Amino acid sequence: MSKLATVYGGSGFVGRYIVRRLAKEGWRVRVAVRRPNEAIFVKPYGVVGQVEPVFCNIRDDASVRLVMEGADAVINCVGTFAKGGKNNFDAVQDEGAERIARIASELAVDQLVHLSAIGADVDSETLYGQSKGRGEAGVLRHFADAMILRPSVVFGPEDEFFNRFASMSRFGPVLPVIGADTKFQPVYVDDVAQAAMAGVNGTSGTFELGGPDVNTFRDLMNEMLQVIRRRRLVLNVPFFVGGIMGWSFDLLSTLTGGLIKGPVTRDQVTSLKSDVVVGDSAKGLADLGVTPTSMEAVLPSYLWRFRPSGQYDAIKESAKNLRVD
């Protein structure tokens, strides 16, 4: 009988790519999510019955245990950018991560892969980074042979990075960014999935994942604008201005009970003060036998819809070169 993997957060951006690779390699997969009805799209990743969305609340021991029973491997892809509410930083990225590792140890699961982030550190200046750091510590406390993956910003068709700023570029001649000189090392989502598969197949340790290029935030936005064929001024927003914006949006979110969420928080502004690149001494994709995919090879495949004429933009450009004798 084929092996069974439980993927917590398997319908999310990174999780779905891991689920697809697991199914392709013949694994049976439980996709543990809060809303199984919204994760039906993962079922065709395998043959009938191979991939099944199941309900799970990672804040509850019994729920986590139930979907993990019988699993040979566990992958935790659950994360959040919300510091408030029930599914906040601590509940999801600290307590939830440790809960999954503790129960995996109790059930004698063979392999555990935990998705973290570059900058995870219990002493981080950001609440996000602190929760990620505590989560890693909790995982290793219960499952010393776990694989921990720390990606830089992840890009791909469903990302909330390039898609978000490409959408913003449609509404004016200026594209404002906070921390234009901060450096990133974007990594392709399927490369992260390949790295996770190495963990499923027995590799352990901590790995920082980045693509082949390191760019400033400004350079990334200019590259994106070239892909979508729009001319915009990338305007750097000073950190003190960004801090005021983040404080204002945080206050608005608090006053509305979280119903209204701003485009940026104070914690995110603080995080933008630090580069998000693979450390010089860190193990990375190369150590896992994964060749990183460049942005140039992928961005045009999904950002074309933000071009002035969408899918017809290339046709219109070609038409301009037609000569009528």
**Is residue 230 domain-resident?**
no
208 sits in which H/E element: strand 205-209
- Who's near 144: CB < 8 A, 6+ residues apart? none
Cα 229 from Cα 76, distance rounded (Å): 37
In this predicted structure, what is the pLDDT of residue 85?
80
The two tokens of residue 14 are 């990174």
The amino acid sitting at 123 is D
> Beta strands 147-151 and 205-209: pairing type?
parallel
**Is residue 285 domain-resident?**
yes
Burial class (CB in 10 A: 0-12, 13-18, 19+), 233: exposed
Cα 308 from Cα 229, distance rounded (Å): 7
Q: Name the residue among 114, 24, 17, 34 with its Cα closest to residue 73.
A: 114
Q: Which CATH number belongs to the domain containing residue 39 in this structure? A: 3.40.50.720
Question: Domain residues for 146?
Answer: 4-153+187-209+277-290
**Is residue 251 domain-resident?**
no
**Is residue 65 domain-resident?**
yes
55 sits in which H/E element: strand 51-55
**Is residue 158 domain-resident?**
no
Number of domains in the chain: 1
Residue 196, helix vs strand vs coil:
helix
**Is residue 312 domain-resident?**
no
Q: Which residues of 60-92 are buried (b: 16+ CB within 10 A; e: fewer)?
A: eeebbbebbeebebbbbbbbbebbeeebbbebb
In this predicted structure, what is the pLDDT of residue 175?
96
In this predicted structure, what is the pLDDT of residue 258?
76
Q: What is the pLDDT along the chain (325 residues), one digit of tens a residue?
A: 689 999 999 999 999 999 999 999 999 999 999 999 999 999 999 999 999 999 999 999 999 999 999 999 999 999 988 777 888 899 999 999 999 999 999 999 999 999 999 999 999 999 999 999 999 999 999 999 999 999 999 999 999 999 999 999 999 999 999 999 999 999 999 999 999 999 999 999 999 999 999 999 999 999 999 999 999 999 999 999 999 999 998 888 888 877 778 888 999 999 999 999 999 999 999 999 999 999 999 999 999 999 998 777 777 766 767 665 5
Contacts 24+ apart (CB under 8 A), 279-285: 279/208, 282/150, 282/206, 282/207, 282/208, 283/205, 283/206, 283/207, 283/208, 284/207, 284/208, 284/209, 284/210, 285/187, 285/191, 285/195, 285/207, 285/209, 285/210
The amino acid sitting at 241 is V
The two tokens of residue 258 are 């979280």
> Beta strands 183-184 and 215-216: pairing type?
antiparallel
The amino acid sitting at 33 is V
Phi, psi of 101 (to 5 degrees): -65, -40
**Is residue 147 domain-resident?**
yes
Cα 209 from Cα 140, distance rounded (Å): 19
234 sits in which H/E element: strand 233-237
Q: How far is CA 166 from the centre of its chain?
A: 18
The DSSP result for 76-131, as a single string, is: E----S-SSSTT-HIIIIIIIHHHHHHHHHHTT-SEEEEE--TT--TT-SSHHHHH
**Is residue 215 domain-resident?**
no
